[in-house]
Structure 1
Amino acid sequence: MKKKLLAICLVLLMVFTFAACGPDKENGVSAELTSYEEALEAAKGTTVTFYGWGGDEVLNKWIDQSLAKTLKDEYDITLERVPMNIEDILAQLSDEKQAGEEKGSIDMIWINGENFYSAKDNGLLYGPFTSLLPNMDKYVDMEDPETENDFCTPIEGYEAPYSKAQLVMITDTAKIETNAIPTDAKSFMEFCKKYPGKVTYPALPDFTGSAFVRNLVYELCGGYEQFTDMKADKETVKNAIQPAIDYLKELNPYLWKEGKTFPASSTEVQNMFAEGELVFHVSYTAYDVAQGIENGTYTDTTTSFQFDKGTIGNTNYIAIANNAPNKAGAIVAINEVLSAKMQQTKFELTKYIPVVGYNKLSDKEVKAFERVDIGKGSISSEELLSKRLPEMPANLVPIIEEIWLEEVVGK
């Protein structure tokens, strides 16, 4: 009798152990996802949340209609987009971690740069997971430096590429003199003097304003190479960027409100430009002008331009929260985002630069991308990428922003 009871107990123990280790069909999670097929099976019938900045209505439309529809039709996954600023997302993840919540509310996260550095460093992200994505190897250029590093932070499988961005500068040729478009920092200073009070940039730490300042830092301080391995020490960084700080202080009197204050966001600068208050705008959306002309925000004479030495570009990514309730669903959704079909429809609607490697596409897929009309006033992808400058290490960015606030504002 005792032996029979012991055998029954052992069987029950094995059943419970198997159930604990197998896929959890209620929320799509398994203790250890070891293959895409396992994730695919576990994700059926589940809901996956996608948290990220919600200010781009065109991108929101693509997520809600194209991506969500495909996930539902082909995988029986419901995608729920949750608009939230990345600072609030990371704060929520941090609070959940401190509270010991093993299952949070966030699955997928739109992220990059210093936010990825901070989230990864603080154990807020799940991974590595990109090796489970069939489309990662099928469509992404694995030798692209931005596939391996995000603002010089090793990715190590903790996020997958979403789209590429690159800094462009914008003006209205009907409101400036012929040949007045600046080609470098020196001619930009002359441009601001020619149109006093009609030029500004977003206050740091706005993402676009910060990138614009770093672009000037590269040109005025000897290029980007020195920053790759620079110690994240305020005095070291300040000494390195001093020529740019001096330049920005000299620039201030010719800016909007004499540089004593700056617009709080790139959206505010865009609105001021669209209303004719400014003759200059800077955007991290490479085809911002084309979209603006198409929807009536900009005039037909609006155009984008770059400095001769190039502009900073980066890749933005999708990560998975470490306590995501539906890791399996997130893996399937991210894999679909990386498909040629999804990248092409996203490029067509949003004009975000795709992350696919064209050398990995079929002839038919290449032609689909080539048929996309990038619109009026835009710089071609080939020219943009030929002048693409890498980002600097993420841990240097907040230091530069702090120095800018102390040294440049109102000086």
Structure 2
Amino acid sequence: MKKNVRMISRLTAMAMAGVLALSACGGKKAETSATTAKAEETKAVEESKAEEKKEETGSETFDKLVEEAKGQTVNFYGWGGDDRLNQWLDGFYAEYLKKNYDITLNRVPMGIEDILTQLSAEKKAGSTESDIDMIWINGENFKTAKENDYLYGPFTADLPNFKEYINQDDPETKADFSYPIEGYEAPYGKAQLVLYGDSKVGEFPKNTAELLEFAKANPGKITYPALPDFTGSAFVRNVIYDIVGVEQFQTVKEDKEAVRELVKPAMEYLKELAPYLWKEGKTYPESAPTMMNMYSDGELIMGMSYSAYIVANGIKDGSFSPDTKTFLFDKGTIGNTNYIAISKNAKHRAAAEVAINAMMAPEVQLNRYETLKTIPVLDNVKLSKEMQEEFSKVDLGEGVLPQSELLNKRLPEMPAGLVPIIEEIWQEEVVGQ
């Protein structure tokens, strides 16, 4: 700051000296020089202010947020259907926030559709303050929220852990389902679709063609959740990728008939597969947890999940048999990142930013990895050697694939706008056949 003041003083002095030297020339010349000097002085002041602002956007800004957040209760809205995650949030994470920042976490279980409905109602009512602070969100729901001006941002540049530990060049840091993030959400955890099954049945299918033969050999013992269930929808998109390819979906227009024509071979496949599914494909489980329970009860021999290490957790708690194994298609499976955003009128915005920064702390991500077996969002090369060793020591449990294999077979998500279109087409052509 002192350096900037000295710079302004020197520029001002030089400018005034020029005015005095030229004033002997009289009238217009002196007047013009005075105007030029004033413009230069104004420019110097503006540059100094910009430099001050630049210096402040870092630890100083975050320190102010930390101070403001002390004593606040932050409301974290998101899906509450994962008991293990709920326990971790209410336990380790809540305790971490209280101990380190004097922030109280209030987890509010609510489906994302209801969250968006509430934000929409608040906006229509002209509300300037919302109880919704943090939001667990991604994909088409993030696109909807951002386009409708429900979110606060950009804010990630304020967060030290985001800048220090997140790979800024990762496509999933820049875009969510191919939709630009632009600092309006921060990574929470990575997910990847995995398939799982009973290894006693035999070899698992390596592609959709083998899956059809597998279903024919085991009629009624395979299914997938009804769309728009998140996992069921991802499975259908994975089938599309395996049959149609990946690249064209990154550029196709969000036009229903154009998409229908593109995915036609995959829809024909799903119609051919249906008679060999549970209930002959006339109905589908309502959700991924329902399907998982059917597998646990022996009603199914195969399932799928967006939780990459679900098998290890299932074997550990006894819901899956020790014979359960994770597998992928040879071409890979879809992976994405889930994020945390802040509502535009969040009542406790400072606490939300501090809490989101805490979620990206190495020790927090390590505990999530150990406890929940969630793929970390941190860039391993940015971690200290000691922390890298701690992550490498984590025992992922039985029946799972190593993280390196998952990431090597990780396929990109489709643009968010295509997801509801594909779900509609599935309803019309597969369910409605």
**TM-score, reference length from structure 2:** 0.86
Q: Following TM superposition, by how much is the alpha carbon of 1:86 offset from its aligned partner in structure 2, in angstroms?
A: 0.7
Distance verdict in 2 for CA 1:103–1:283, change over 3 Å: same
Mapping 1:132-151, distance limit 5 Å? 132-151=158-177
Which residue in 2 is equivalent to 1:56? 82
Q: Following TM superposition, by how much is the alpha carbon of 1:35 offset from its aligned partner in structure 2, in angstroms?
A: 1.8
> Could you tell me how far apart the structure 1 residues matched to 2:375 and 2:332 are?
17
Aligned partner of 2:403: which letter?
S
Which residue in 2 is equivalent to 1:219? 242
Distance verdict in 2 for CA 1:214–1:34, change over 3 Å: farther
Aligned partner of 2:314: which letter?
G
Mapping 1:218-257, distance limit 5 Å? 218-221=241-244, 223-257=245-279
The reply on whether 1:165 has 2:191 as its aligned counterpart is yes
Aligned with 2:363 (options 330, 337, 341): 341
Work out whether residues 49 and 82 of structure 1, in 8 Å CA contact, stay in contact via their aligned partners in 2.
yes
Aligned partner of 1:156: which letter?
E
Q: Following TM superposition, by how much is the alpha carbon of 1:342 offset from its aligned partner in structure 2, in angstroms?
A: 0.4
Mapping 1:11-410, distance limit 5 Å? 35-174=61-200, 176=201, 178-179=202-203, 181-221=204-244, 223-409=245-431
Q: Following TM superposition, by how much is the alpha carbon of 1:57 offset from its aligned partner in structure 2, in angstroms?
A: 1.2
Aligned partner of 2:215: which letter?
C
1:203-256 deviation line (CA, Å, top 9, x unaligned) = 0000000000000101111x2111112111100000000000000000111011
SS in 1 for 2:417: helix
Work out whether residues 261 and 410 of structure 1, in 8 Å CA contact, stay in contact via their aligned partners in 2.
no
> Could you tell me how far apart the structure 2 residues matched to 1:255 and 1:198 are?
6
Distance verdict in 2 for CA 1:139–1:46, change over 3 Å: same
> Could you tell me how far apart the structure 1 residues matched to 2:97 and 2:279 are?
49
Runs of 4+ in 1 over 3 A off after TM superposition: none
Q: Following TM superposition, by how much is the alpha carbon of 1:104 offset from its aligned partner in structure 2, in angstroms?
A: 1.0
> Could you tell me how far apart the structure 2 residues matched to 1:63 and 1:253 are?
42
SS in 1 for 2:304: strand
Using the aligned pairs only, state the percent identity.
57
> Could you tell me how far apart the structure 2 residues matched to 1:65 and 1:301 are?
31
Q: Following TM superposition, by how much is the alpha carbon of 1:55 offset from its aligned partner in structure 2, in angstroms?
A: 1.1
1:377-405 deviation line (CA, Å, top 9, x unaligned) = 00100000000000000000000000000
SS in 2 for 1:124: coil
> Could you tell me how far apart the structure 2 residues matched to 1:392 and 1:60 are?
29
Which structure ranks higher in relative contact order (CA pairs < 8 Å, sequence separation ≥ 6)? 1
Q: Following TM superposition, by how much is the alpha carbon of 1:34 offset from its aligned partner in structure 2, in angstroms?
A: 8.6
> Could you tell me how far apart the structure 1 residues matched to 2:86 and 2:216 are?
39
1:9-48 deviation line (CA, Å, top 9, x unaligned) = xxxxxxxxxxxxxxxxxxxxxxxx9921221111011110
Distance verdict in 2 for CA 1:34–1:402, change over 3 Å: farther
SS in 2 for 1:119: helix
Q: Following TM superposition, by how much is the alpha carbon of 1:70 offset from its aligned partner in structure 2, in angstroms?
A: 1.1
Q: Following TM superposition, by how much is the alpha carbon of 1:410 offset from its aligned partner in structure 2, in angstroms?
A: 5.1
> Could you tell me how far apart the structure 1 residues matched to 2:332 and 2:256 are?
26
> Which protein shows a greater Rg?
2
Query: Unmatched 5+ residue regions in structure 2?
Result: 1-58
Q: Following TM superposition, by how much is the alpha carbon of 1:65 offset from its aligned partner in structure 2, in angstroms?
A: 1.1
> Could you tell me how far apart the structure 2 residues matched to 1:373 and 1:338 are?
21
SS in 1 for 2:122: helix
> Could you tell me how far apart the structure 2 residues matched to 1:358 and 1:319 are?
23
SS in 2 for 1:216: helix
1:163-195 deviation line (CA, Å, top 9, x unaligned) = 000000010112x1x32x100010000000000
> Could you tell me how far apart the structure 2 residues matched to 1:371 and 1:64 are?
25
> Could you tell me how far apart the structure 1 residues matched to 2:175 and 2:81 are?
26
More moved, 56-65 vs 313-322? 56-65
SS in 2 for 1:394: coil
> Could you tell me how far apart the structure 2 residues matched to 1:217 and 1:196 are?
22
Aligned partner of 2:127: which letter?
E
RMSD: 1.0
Work out whether residues 151 and 392 of structure 1, in 8 Å CA contact, stay in contact via their aligned partners in 2.
yes
Aligned partner of 2:224: which letter?
Y
Distance verdict in 2 for CA 1:122–1:34, change over 3 Å: farther
Identify, as 1 or 2, the structure richer in helix. 2
Aligned partner of 1:318: which letter?
I
**TM-score, reference length from structure 1:** 0.90
> Could you tell me how far apart the structure 1 residues matched to 2:132 and 2:291 are?
31
Distance verdict in 2 for CA 1:38–1:243, change over 3 Å: same
Work out whether residues 34 and 132 of structure 1, in 8 Å CA contact, stay in contact via their aligned partners in 2.
no
Work out whether residues 36 and 133 of structure 1, in 8 Å CA contact, stay in contact via their aligned partners in 2.
yes
> Could you tell me how far apart the structure 1 residues matched to 2:248 and 2:220 are?
34
SS in 2 for 1:202: coil
